[in-house]
Amino acid sequence: MRTNPILAAALVSLLASTTLSARAADALTEPVGGQPAPGSKPSVANLEDQVAYQRAFEAVVWSQPAVAVYGIRRGLIEGLGMKDNEVMAMSKPLTTRHEFLTANNTTPYIVANADLQSGPVVVEVPAAIDTGAMYGQVVDASQVTIADVGPSGVDQGKGGKYLFLPPGYKGQVPEGYLVIPSPGYRIQFAFRSIKLAGATDADASAYAKKLKMYPLSEAANPRPTRFVDGFDRRVSTLEFFDWRYFKDLFDIISVEPVFPRDKVMMGMLASIGIEKGKPFNPSLKMKEIMTRAAVDAYHYMQDRFDKVQMKNLYWPERNWSYFYLPDPSGGFSWETDTALLYDNRSDMYHPGTYYPKQIPAKPATVYLASMADSNGQLLRGGRTYRLNVPKNVPVKQFWALIVYDRATWAFIYNPLDRVGLSSYDMPNMKVNADGSVDLFIGPEAPEGFESNWIPTQGKRPLPVMRIYGGGDAFWDKSFLMPDLELVK
């Protein structure tokens, strides 16, 4: 019988390949992957502590909006002895003892807390009048704006009864209200009583007290709203960047519902002792870890501010940033279809609070932050700077320069109790022959310019120019605001 040469060759080849495969299989001793390289060791001695630190760090960055607005709640309760549904109505604009994030000193503030766990709450907003209007936002515990108020808000300046409903409310909703369902239980509002047509601070304060706030259960016969004037009192609302930050965060988590966007973070928080329905009692070691994480997160966000805002310049040839950093939808939630971009969110909520639902192309108030001097150097503490404000700044209302402590984002305590200067102060300032005005920012007033000086007490300053009602020349950028110049 003759052997087919082709078949014989195939059999030899198959036998050889089978033998080679068997030998290769005998040589395999480890699977592919599944462990680090031989000899690898943990990067830290205690991985449990490292995980706690990492989760605490991320929690600080993630929770900036919530803890910042909770600080205002804490400040009103502890500093002014206020309760829910009571209203802080300042008789005058804020000053240095009012420790808020990047607040303004030109309009009296109106702030209140409410807790919808007790049922719906009504806020009656007065209609805008010739001498005044009320602007502001109502936010939930995550500082998500649930209602804009005033001429650009839900009531469109006509005033009205806002009715805020708790999550899952099943009760009857009466007619005649501007109904706002809230995703959370604790809500808060911050309004500004805007002075119009030559109105005084007293006029603005009186207008603010036309507001009413009460539970819906009392709507038939509401008790008079209690107003508290915090002007003469210290009101501290700033976050604590130590382990107490997590105490505030725990107080928030203990009340509010959990949203799908936050479920992963809830698991991380539970691993460091922050869990709804359980006590918050961190050990001394955990407090030390939390403090380290809070300090590092603070410096991380401070560093991001400089880097991000320097990429957000309003005029390419100037060092004024536009400050606003809205999300892709034009709002400030930074929640997309696929992610919660909480790093980007912290870029706004670390230095400030209370943003509108959506930012229009030409907002009524614009914030420009001076990031660097005319030489491109970041502003420094202990130095004196000069800003030449041109005669005809294109504003329909007024401009105001406010200087904040770059470390706290709050006003700088100083003997003059002066936090800024505005076009309203022009009659009291030295004005140049061309109608412009030189403002000085620094630890000491240049001789002869005391009335033009904003003290910094050696702090690193963040000057913010507010443009109230920007004109065409501002929006088409034909007007250029000069940069700050280093004097000494």
Yes or no: say if 320 and 313 are a contact pair by the CB < 8 Å rule. Answer: yes
In a domain, 426, yes or no: yes
Q: Tell me what pLDDT residue 397 has.
A: 87
* The domain boundary residue, chosen from 193, 213, 236: 236
- Tell me, yes or no, whether 116 and 230 share the same domain: yes
Q: Tell me what pLDDT residue 26 has.
A: 59
In a domain, 381, yes or no: yes
Number of domains in the chain: 2
- CA gap 208, 71 in Å, rounded: 23
Q: Tell me what pLDDT residue 364 has.
A: 87
Q: Tell me what pLDDT residue 198 has.
A: 82
- Tell me, yes or no, whether 222 and 314 share the same domain: no
Q: Tell me what pLDDT residue 152 has.
A: 86
- Tell me, yes or no, whether 314 and 228 share the same domain: no
- Tell me, yes or no, whether 361 and 481 share the same domain: yes
323: domain CATH number is: 2.60.120.600
**Cβ count near 72 (within 10 Å):** 24
* The domain boundary residue, chosen from 236, 258, 287: 236
- Tell me, yes or no, whether 351 and 460 share the same domain: yes
CA atoms within 13 A on the CB side of 447: 0
In a domain, 20, yes or no: no
For 313, counting Cβ atoms within 10 Å of its Cβ (0-12 exposed, 13-18 middle, 19+ buried), the class is middle
How confident is the chain (488 residues) per 10-residue block, as mean pLDDT?
55 53 68 93 95 98 98 97 97 96 93 98 95 92 95 94 97 96 98 86 92 97 97 97 98 97 97 97 98 98 97 97 94 94 97 92 93 96 97 94 98 97 95 97 95 97 96 97 97
Q: Tell me what pLDDT residue 218 has.
A: 96
Q: Tell me what pLDDT residue 6 has.
A: 58
Q: Tell me what pLDDT residue 131 has.
A: 87
Q: Which of 51, 118, 50, 61 is nearest to 249 (CA)?
A: 61
Q: Tell me what pLDDT residue 27 has.
A: 81
In a domain, 36, yes or no: no
- Tell me, yes or no, whether 334 and 212 share the same domain: no
- Tell me, yes or no, whether 105 and 231 share the same domain: yes
Yes or no: say if 354 and 467 are a contact pair by the CB < 8 Å rule. Answer: no
Domain range for residue 106? 82-236
Three-class secondary structure assignment of 314-344: CCCCCCEECCCCCCCCCCCCCECCCCECHHH
- CA gap 456, 316 in Å, rounded: 28
Yes or no: say if 213 and 138 are a contact pair by the CB < 8 Å rule. Answer: no
In a domain, 288, yes or no: no
In a domain, 7, yes or no: no
Q: Which of 55, 67, 77 is nearest to 248 (CA)?
A: 67
Q: Tell me what pLDDT residue 387 has.
A: 98
- Tell me, yes or no, whether 307 and 223 share the same domain: no
Q: Tell me what pLDDT residue 371 has.
A: 96
- Tell me, yes or no, whether 215 and 332 share the same domain: no
- Tell me, yes or no, whether 457 and 311 share the same domain: yes
- CA gap 477, 485 in Å, rounded: 21
- Tell me, yes or no, whether 362 and 482 share the same domain: yes
Q: Tell me what pLDDT residue 106 has.
A: 87
Note every long-range contact of 415-423, with CB atoms under 8 Å and residues 24 or more positions apart, other chains counting: 415/455, 416/455, 417/95, 417/96, 418/453, 418/454, 418/455, 419/94, 419/95, 419/96, 419/105, 419/454, 420/105, 420/106, 420/454, 421/452, 421/454, 422/106, 422/398, 423/393, 423/395, 423/398, 423/399
In a domain, 284, yes or no: no
In a domain, 409, yes or no: yes
139: domain CATH number is: 2.60.40.1610
* The domain boundary residue, chosen from 236, 253, 273: 236
- Tell me, yes or no, whether 230 and 307 share the same domain: no
